Amino acid sequence: MQKETLRIETFSDGVFCIAVTLLSLEIGVEVKNVATNTDLLHALISKWPICLAYVISFVNVLLAWIGHHSLFKQLHKTNNFIMMTNGVLLMLVALVPFPTKTLGLFLQTGALKTAVIFYTAYFVLISLAFRLLWHAATRRRDLLIQSITDAQINLTTKNENIGLICNSIILATAFINPWIALALSFAMWVYWIGFA
Amino acid sequence: MQKETLRIETFSDGVFCIAVTLLSLEIGVEVKNVATNTDLLHALISKWPICLAYVISFVNVLLAWIGHHSLFKQLHKTNNFIMMTNGVLLMLVALVPFPTKTLGLFLQTGALKTAVIFYTAYFVLISLAFRLLWHAATRRRDLLIQSITDAQINLTTKNENIGLICNSIILATAFINPWIALALSFAMWVYWIGFA
Amino acid sequence: MQKETLRIETFSDGVFCIAVTLLSLEIGVEVKNVATNTDLLHALISKWPICLAYVISFVNVLLAWIGHHSLFKQLHKTNNFIMMTNGVLLMLVALVPFPTKTLGLFLQTGALKTAVIFYTAYFVLISLAFRLLWHAATRRRDLLIQSITDAQINLTTKNENIGLICNSIILATAFINPWIALALSFAMWVYWIGFA
Amino acid sequence: MQKETLRIETFSDGVFCIAVTLLSLEIGVEVKNVATNTDLLHALISKWPICLAYVISFVNVLLAWIGHHSLFKQLHKTNNFIMMTNGVLLMLVALVPFPTKTLGLFLQTGALKTAVIFYTAYFVLISLAFRLLWHAATRRRDLLIQSITDAQINLTTKNENIGLICNSIILATAFINPWIALALSFAMWVYWIGFA
């Protein structure tokens, strides 16, 4: 059964990897209205919102990938419930380019707040999918690797809960001030990178 | 020869994985005519048909991937006929974004029925390719793994036939009522996820 | 050094796999001018040239992938010359969507002949890259696996030469009659699938 | 911990592989204004700047991939700092299609100089990320494989520095004459391919 887990991990890795690389497809300068070197410079500089959205999403998906690994490292075998919740998670990850380009396109417009709420709500959904996947994994003790201790299980549960709560707080903040929400999202990385 | 099977499986996995992730490329909100937060909210909500099509296709491809695995797990070695039928299957899987975006674009238009017929007919083709692949695998007993029993072979044959018949019924229903066809497609997942 | 060969093979597999799946991105029906079921039916049917181009390219890339494997199976280690020629081959394979969409877009236009010449010339280039790669591999005997016989080396050389000659004949035919060239391309598959 | 390194390498390989293949998506001929064989021929020939940009980027990413491998071959285990710098490197690699299409689109326009400066500056950034990654790897001796000698470490450090300096010189040249910068970039490959 270990082999089956490996297969799902490889497939999941592929989805994370492609999702993260596809993000770049949205970024480009259009040739019309650009005639001189100065025009192109301005056109490139005006792309900063989509580049910022790209960087934020790249880091978020990369952190989600790391989280996915540390979760699956604790799994010994899978069942249909895990397959399904993992499928939902992958479906959300594969669609990250959608909220990312929405954020990038509307960061400098009057629709900024809706864009940030949509973006942050999307990552609350991803946190929920992670939490559900871990719930599916811990429901039956024989799905986990034998060497795992209750303390380790509780630590992961705690981390998943903290991730979900943090993302929810960021979403709530987005309703008040979108820029603070993006700043909090940035601050959360520092936390994760420090503790991962 | 086992190594050769592994290679084909890895390559097939790649095609499934990329096809599923490429689905997301079609989904995006255009910047024109969106000036306020409310505009963007409405624009996002109006994207539900393509999102629904995305979810349906994601699950379908994921189930096809699971089916592909359980089929190849029973294979010991390959020949040209298997290579060819597997190639046809991959060709169809890689093109799933085409019927998916057709379904998404025309779900709310007067062309709904044609879109659903095209979409469901496409998955009948995929079922046929699976059935053909399994036919190619079972034509000669030495292609299968040694430990396999006749009962197991018959079970897979029966499952492939059921899949083909179900998809054909869904296609027939699409000619009468497209929405019932989509609902049946959804109900079929529950069956597969429960029995897979 | 065997490990290094494996790495290049995996990377090459990835490029083949992505190139083949990206082909599908070009195929889609536009929503404008389609109001009824009949409109969509006609729009879908009018997509046959790009679908034909897709099928032709899918098979060509798949056959190239099989050829790449049987070539690398005979390699024991690599050097810079092999890395370079393999890089050129991958560069050409990754760009197959370009001639494919050119063929699909202009199959029914007055520019048919140029499109077919471009497409067939492109596969002459790929054959040349294969031939060059095999030349790089056979220049020094210690790059090949030890168990290989001179007869096997000569057989592969002969096959590479036949492929190159066939593709050149198809290109030459395209200058006279593009449709015969496409038919010959189809006939060549039957040969390869039969002998591969 | 070796297993963890393998995972990151596989994921990084995937990003390199997809980035290199996605480059091709930008290249295509539009159907409008093309009615005859001669029109298509001219349209295809007029695509040389984007094809040139494609070739330059393909080789650059391929060389970066080879560099990434030889760097990771010397790593025994990873830490958060390495994960982070590798993440920055992958983020830059995944976005290579952006400077590539900018270069291709503006190579024949009045904005040539800005396009080449942007392109060459981008590869200075990639060199910097490589240098940072190697700095992260060599900061603590226990991250490297045991069999490595100080001479080997110094050689890699020297190579990374040379790469960074060369790319900086090319960037500086781009401010004076963009074509000489592109020619130097080409000359640098010959160096790398000869010494890699």
Question: Which stretches of chain B sit within 8 Å of chain C by CB?
Answer: 7, 10-11, 14-15, 18-19, 22, 25-26, 80, 83-84, 87, 90-91, 94-98, 101-102, 105-106, 109-115, 118
**pLDDT at residue D179 in the model:** 93
Over residues A156-188, the pLDDT tens digits come to 899 889 889 999 999 999 999 999 999 998 888
CB contact under 8 A, B65 and A91: no
Mean pLDDT on A146-154: 86
Q: In angstroms, what separates the C-alpha of A65 from chain B's closest C-alpha?
A: 15
> Cα separation of D78 and B73, whole Å?
34
Q: Which residues of C touch B22 (CB under 8 A)?
A: 21-22, 24-25
pLDDT of residue D1: 40
| Chains touching C, CB cut-off 8 Å, 3+ pairs | B, D
Going residue by residue through chain D (196 aa), what tens digit of pLDDT does each one get? 445 677 788 888 889 988 888 888 878 888 777 888 888 999 899 888 889 889 988 988 888 888 888 888 888 888 888 888 999 999 999 999 999 989 998 988 889 999 999 999 999 999 999 999 999 888 888 888 888 888 888 888 998 898 899 999 999 999 999 999 999 988 887 777 665 5
Q: How far is CA B104 from the centre of its chain?
A: 16
Report which of D96, D83, D106 is spatially closest to residue D25, judged by C-alpha positions: D96
- Residue D50 distance to chain A (closest CA, Å): 13
Residue B194, pLDDT score: 65
B-chain residues near A10 (CB < 8 A): 13
Task: Collect all residues from C whose CB is shorter than 8 A from any CB in B.
Answer: 13-14, 16-18, 20-25, 27-29, 31, 34-41, 44, 54-55, 58-59, 62, 65-66, 69, 193-194, 196
Which pLDDT does position B1 carry in this prediction? Answer: 40
Contact residues for B89 (Cβ-Cβ < 8 A; gap 6+) = B68, B126, B129, B130, B133
Question: Which residue in chain C has the smallest CA separation from B23?
Answer: C25
Across the interface, whether the CB atoms of B39 and A111 are under 8 A apart is answered yes
Give the gap in angstroms from C-alpha D176 to the nearest C-alpha of chain C: 31
Spacing of C-alpha A66 from chain mean position: 10
Between A and B, how many residue pairs show a Cβ–Cβ distance under 8 A?
92
Q: What angle do CA A119, A122, A127 make, to 5 degrees?
A: 130
The residue assigned the tokens 């499986």 is B9
Least CB–CB distance from D114: residue in A17, A37, A59: A37
Residue A1 pLDDT: 40
What local confidence, expressed as pLDDT, does residue C4 receive?
64
- What is this model's ipTM? 0.84
Helices B80-94 and C2-22: crossing angle in degrees, nearest 10, is: 50
Q: Considering only CA atoms, which of D157, D1, D160, D146 is closest in space to residue D79?
A: D1
* Whether residue A196 has pLDDT greater than 70: no
CA distance B193 to D68: 41
Q: Do B109 and C38 touch (CB under 8 A)?
A: no
Report the pLDDT value the prediction gives residue B4, as an integer from 0 to 100.
64
Answer yes or no: do C22 and D23 touch at CB < 8 A: no
Query: Is the Cβ–Cβ distance between D15 and D94 less than 8 Å?
Result: yes
A119 has a pLDDT exceeding 70: yes
Chain A neighbors (3+ CB pairs < 8 Å): B, D
Helices A48-72, A2-22: inter-axial angle, 10-degree rounding: 170
Residue of D106, D116, D122, D175 to mutate for A, most A C-beta atoms under 10 A: D106
- First-residue to last-residue Cα distance in chain C: 28
**Contact (Cβ atoms closer than 8 angstroms) between residue D18 and residue D72:** no
Q: How confident is the model at residue B82 (pLDDT cuts 50, 70, 90)?
A: confident
Q: How far is B49 from chain C (nearest CA, A)?
A: 13
pLDDT at B122: 95
Residue whose structure tokens are 């940072």:
D132
A16 to chain D nearest CA, in Å?
A: 9
Contact A18, B18 (CB under 8 A): yes
Looking at beta carbons, which residues of chain A come within 8 Å of D14? 13-14, 17-18, 21
User: Which member of C18, C80, C112 has the closest CB to residue D21?
Assistant: C18
* pLDDT at res. D125: 95
Written as one string, the DSSP assignment of chain B is -HHHHHHHHHHHHHHHHHHHHHGGGG----STT--SHHHHHHHHHTTHHHHHHHHHHHHHHHHHHHHHHHHHTTBS---HHHHHHHHHHHHHHHTTHHHHHHHHHHTTSBTHHHHHHHHHHHHHHHHHHHHHHHHHHHSSGGGB-TT--HHHHHHHHHHHHHHHHHHHHHHHHHHH-HHHHHHHHHHHHHHHHHH-
Contact state of B114 with C54 under an 8 Å Cβ cutoff: no
Which segment of A187-191, B148-152, D68-72 scores lowest on mean pLDDT? A187-191
Contact across the interface for D28 and C111, Cβ inside 8 Å: no
Residue A37 corresponds to which tokens in the numbers above? Answer: 């070197």
CA separation for the pair D87, D129 (Å, rounded): 9
CA dihedral (C85, D174, D165, C81) in degrees, to 10, reads 10
Where is mean pLDDT largest: B77-91, C57-71, D114-128? D114-128
**What pLDDT is attached to residue A122?**
95
Which of D87, D110, D114 is nearest residue A62 as measured by Cβ atoms?
A: D87
Each residue of A12-46: pLDDT tens digit? 888 998 888 888 887 888 877 788 888 899 989 98
Mean pLDDT, rounded, for B39-54: 89
Q: Would the CB atoms of A17 and D14 count as touching at under 8 Å?
A: yes
Sorted by sequence, the CB contacts under 8 Å of residue C68 that are 6+ apart come out as C12, C16, C89, C130
**Residue B131 pLDDT class (50, 70, 90 cuts):** very high
DSSP A36: S
Q: In chain A, what residues touch B46 (CB-CB under 8 Å)?
A: none
Name the residue facing D24 among C84, C97, C106 (closest C-beta).
C97
Classify A177 as helix, strand or coil: coil
Under an 8 A CB cutoff, do C39 and B83 touch? no
In chain B, the residue whose alpha carbon lies closest to the alpha carbon of C59 is B87
Mutating which of B88, B96, B98 best tests the C interface, going by the most C Cβ atoms within 10 A? Answer: B98
pLDDT at A3 over 60: no
User: Are C28 and B102 a contacting pair, CB within 8 Å?
Assistant: yes
User: Which residue of chain A is at minimal alpha-carbon distance from D8?
Assistant: A66
Contacts of D31 in chain C (CB under 8 A): 105-106, 109
Q: In sequence order, what are the beta bridge partners of B144?
A: B75
Q: Tell me the average pLDDT across C131-157.
A: 87
Kindly report the nearest CA distance between residue B176 and chain A, in angstroms: 31
Would you give the distance in Å from CA C8 to the centre of its chain?
18
Minimal Cα distance from B13: which residue of A? A11
Contact A27 D95 (CB under 8 A): yes
Instruction: Give the model's pLDDT for residue B71.
Output: 87
Nearest-by-Cβ selection for C39 from B10, B111, B118: B111
Name residue, tokens 């979760």: A71
Q: Which of C27-36, C143-152, C161-170 has the highest average model confidence (pLDDT)?
A: C161-170
Backbone angles phi and psi of C30, in degrees to 5: -85, 145
H or E stretch covering A126 = helix A112-138
The residues facing A144 across adjacent strands are A75
For the purposes of burial, counting CB atoms within 10 Å of the CB of D81, is it exposed (0-12), middle (13-18) or buried (19 or more)? Answer: middle
Q: Pick from A17, A27, A70 the residue to mutate for testing the D interface (most D CBs within 10 Å).
A: A17
Q: What are phi and psi of C46, to 5 degrees?
A: -65, -5
Q: How many CA atoms lie within 13 A of B148 on its CB side?
A: 21
For residue A66, list chain D residues with Cβ-Cβ distance below 8 A: 83
By a Cβ cutoff of 8 Å, what residues of chain A touch chain D? 13-14, 16-18, 20-25, 27-29, 31, 34-41, 44, 54-55, 58-59, 62, 65-66, 69, 193-194, 196
What is the rounded radius of gyration, in angstroms, for the C-alpha atoms of chain B? 19
Nearest-CB residue to C14 (from D17, D25, D28): D17
Decide if D24 and C84 are in contact by the 8 Å CB cutoff: no
Which residues of D fall below an 8 Å CB-CB distance to C? 13-14, 16-18, 20-25, 27-29, 31, 34-41, 44, 54-55, 58-59, 62, 65-66, 69, 193-194, 196
The string of pLDDT tens digits covering residues D104-121 is 989 888 899 999 999 999
Q: Do residue B29 and residue A110 have CB atoms under 8 angstroms apart?
A: no
